Amino acid sequence: MSRVVTLYFDVVCPFAYLASTQLDALIEGTDATIDLRPILLGGLFRQIGQVDDPNRVMPAAKVAHMRRDLARWAQRFDVPLRMPAAHPRRTVLAMRVLSALEGEARRRAMHALFAAYWADGLDVAVPDVIVRVLDAIGLEGTALLEAAGTETVKTALFASTEEAARSGAFGVPTFVVDGELFWGQDRIDWVRERLVRAA
């Protein structure tokens, strides 16, 4: 039976972006699959009693260190990363679009939206940007934007965020394997070790 790695993510998080670039390597040579679960990071923070945007209360020295650390990780993973203007942007619409998709289409859209925000510096809070990004990968951007406005999709995203909180998640990226939680792109090696050891 194929193992399942659950990944809770939000496009707004640079560490989740970095993790997303390593997913193929994570499961390479294993029978594992990755279950991508879009959530709203701000919603998760509210559920666990955290401020909506921790960056606003973070000491300046920590902010500076975090930015250097992001650059180090991007270099290690050999991926582009630049801080978008006016970060953080609201990703609720982008995350609803991802919730409206499943399987391979969700995976492709996730990668495209992460790249749009963290590599190209596009504002994924803008509906036209989302449509262009989705159209460029062969998905129906306008139709997906309409689907994102339905109560079914809104409820699904809310439920996924609640589920993340119940699992013990307190940020993204959060990986869950066999009920064990791993937080951060810097824990990917531990996730892989768990998969390989249990294979």
**Cα(151)–Cα(166) distance, integer angstroms:** 22
**Rounded to 5 degrees, what are φ and ψ at 145?**
-65, -40
Q: State residue 1's pLDDT score.
A: 59
- CATH number, domain at 140? 3.40.30.10
Question: Comparing C-alpha atoms, which of 92, 101, 89 is closest to residue 158?
Answer: 92
**Cα(74)–Cα(56) distance, integer angstroms:** 23
- Number of domains forming the structure of the chain: 1
Question: Comparing C-alpha atoms, which of 12, 18, 11, 123 is closest to residue 70?
Answer: 18
Pairing of strands 174-177, 180-183: antiparallel
**pLDDT confidence tier of residue 27, bands split at 50, 70 and 90:** very high
| Dihedral sign, Cα of residue 189, residue 190, residue 192, residue 196 | positive
Tokens of 83: 């801080």
**pLDDT confidence tier of residue 58, bands split at 50, 70 and 90:** confident
Residue 54 has pLDDT above 80, yes or no: no
**Rounded to 5 degrees, what are φ and ψ at 32?**
-80, 155
Q: What is the mean pLDDT of the chain?
A: 95
DSSP class of 187: G
**pLDDT confidence tier of residue 198, bands split at 50, 70 and 90:** low
User: Residues 132-166: pLDDT tens digits?
Assistant: 999 999 999 999 999 999 999 999 999 999 999 99
Question: Comparing C-alpha atoms, which of 2, 11, 50, 54 is closest to residue 177?
Answer: 2
Enumerate residues 6+ apart whose C-beta is below 8 A from 69: none
**Cα(166)–Cα(161) distance, integer angstroms:** 9
**Cα(154)–Cα(25) distance, integer angstroms:** 32
Residue 52 has pLDDT above 80, yes or no: no
**Cα(88)–Cα(166) distance, integer angstroms:** 25
Domain that holds residue 30: 4-198
Tokens of 6: 């659950």
Quickly count: other Cβ atoms within 10 Å of residue 192's Cβ.
Answer: 22
User: Residues 88-129: pLDDT tens digits?
Assistant: 999 999 999 999 999 999 999 999 999 999 999 999 999 999
Q: State residue 51's pLDDT score.
A: 80
